[in-house]
Amino acid sequence: MIVERPIGSVGDKEYEGAVLDFVEIEWFNTHKKIDRKTSRGGLEIGLRMDAETARRGWRQGDVLCRAAGGVVIAVEIPPCRCIAVGGGGMGDTDGIGGTDGAGGAPDRRRLARLCYEIGNRHAPFFYDEDGDGFLLPYDEPMKVMLEKLGAAVDVRQARLLAENRVSSASAHDGGHSHGHSHSHSHGENGGGHTHTHDHSET
């Protein structure tokens, strides 16, 4: 069976009370144009995205098709190990940017530095549905860097959903590859030199 686009969502009224079977698609494969999966119930499904689906990606609860007996085959984005940032609250001393010590307002410079460093590493960045902070895929160097910048971090299982993504770039965007390079300078703490490095994505 080949599926090119979702036909609905498990939350739609027409699927109320239906027997569900799920196909697991990891968050980093939700924009993979061609894939082959086996549902938990053993049904083999080929995924071949049309143009619209390639733009939006597969999402949690997407209905792929109805199988024999009316079983509804849907997408499950499994939870993965994540870094939760700022779970204590944006304005708390245990939050994302700390406080400036005057009335508990977030330290805007620290927050800006935090966002800059995450963006500079091209890290996928998601809103946290279960809190008022953000989520990143677990990476030990990233965790250490965030802690050094004063962010409150926690490691836990969570779903990284495309609709909650903050950054626009995708590590696996439709299964194609591209590369780019940029240079930046290190000022006060970096010896005043400039270097160029390349980022290639597959």
Give me the pLDDT at residue 100, please.
46
d(CA 85, CA 126): 10
Please tell me which residue, 113 or 87, carries the higher pLDDT value. Answer: 113
Handedness of CA 109, 111, 114, 115 (dihedral sign): negative
Give Cβ neighbours of residue 142 (< 8 Å, ≥ 6 apart).
Answer: 83, 118, 121, 123, 136
Q: What is the pTM of this model?
A: 0.71
Structural domains in the chain plus CATH codes: 2-76 (2.60.260.20), 80-158 (3.30.70.790)
pLDDT (average), residues 90-118 = 61
- Which run of H or E residues covers position 50? none
Over the stretch 173-194, which tens digit does the pLDDT of each residue have? 433 333 343 444 444 444 444 4
Give me the pLDDT at residue 74, please.
98
The one-character DSSP state at 87 is T
